[in-house]
A = this chain, B = another copy of it.
Amino acid sequence: MAANSRFAVAVHALALIAWHEDARHSSREIAGSVATNPVVIRRLLAQLAKAGIVESAHGAKGGFRLARPARDIRLHDVYAAVEEGGFFALPEKGNDRCPVACRMKEILNGVFRRVESKVLPELKRTTLADVVGRLPRSS
C-alpha cells in the first residue's frame, strides 16, 4: 500500500466500526474491508485505543468498538493519535556559520505554525459521525 496512509486507514476502520456501532468488529473483518493484513489493523487500532478512541476485547466474540459516540470523535483526535509530526518536515541541519541558515529554522517554524493553525480547526470541526453520515444505511 502507499506510504503514509495511516490516517486514511484509521478513518476507514473507524467508519466501519461506527457503521454498526452496537457490534464488536474483529481485526480480520476490518482488514477485509481495507484490504490489508489484520496485524496492520491491530497495530493502528492499538494507537487509537491508547488515545481512548476505541476499546478492544480479547477472546471469542471479542474485537473493537468505539469508546465514545461517533459524534464525539473528531478527525483531529484520530490524526493526532496516528500521525506523529505536523504536516511539514522541519529537521533541517543548516550551517551554523551562515546567517541565512541560522534564521531559517525559526522562519520556517513560523510559516508552518500559521499553516497548521488553518488546518487544525477544520479537522476539529469534522467528526466521525459526519463521515458515517455519508455512508449508505447500515441495513
Contact = CB atoms under 8 A, between A and B. Distances in A.
Interface of A: 1-5, 7-9, 11-12, 15-16, 19, 32-36, 75, 87-95, 98-101, 103-104, 107-108, 110-111, 114-115, 118-119, 121-123, 126, 131, 134-136
A124 to B, nearest CB: 11
Counted per complex, copies of this chain come to 2
Q: Which 9 residue pairs of A and B lie closest in terms of their CB atoms, listed nearest first?
A: A2-B91, A118-B118, A33-B98, A35-B93, A4-B89, A5-B89, A33-B101, A12-B104, A16-B100
Given A98-B32, A118-B119, A118-B122, A92 B12 contact: yes
For chain A, what secondary structure do more than half of its interface residues adopt (helix, strand, loop), or is it mixed?
helix
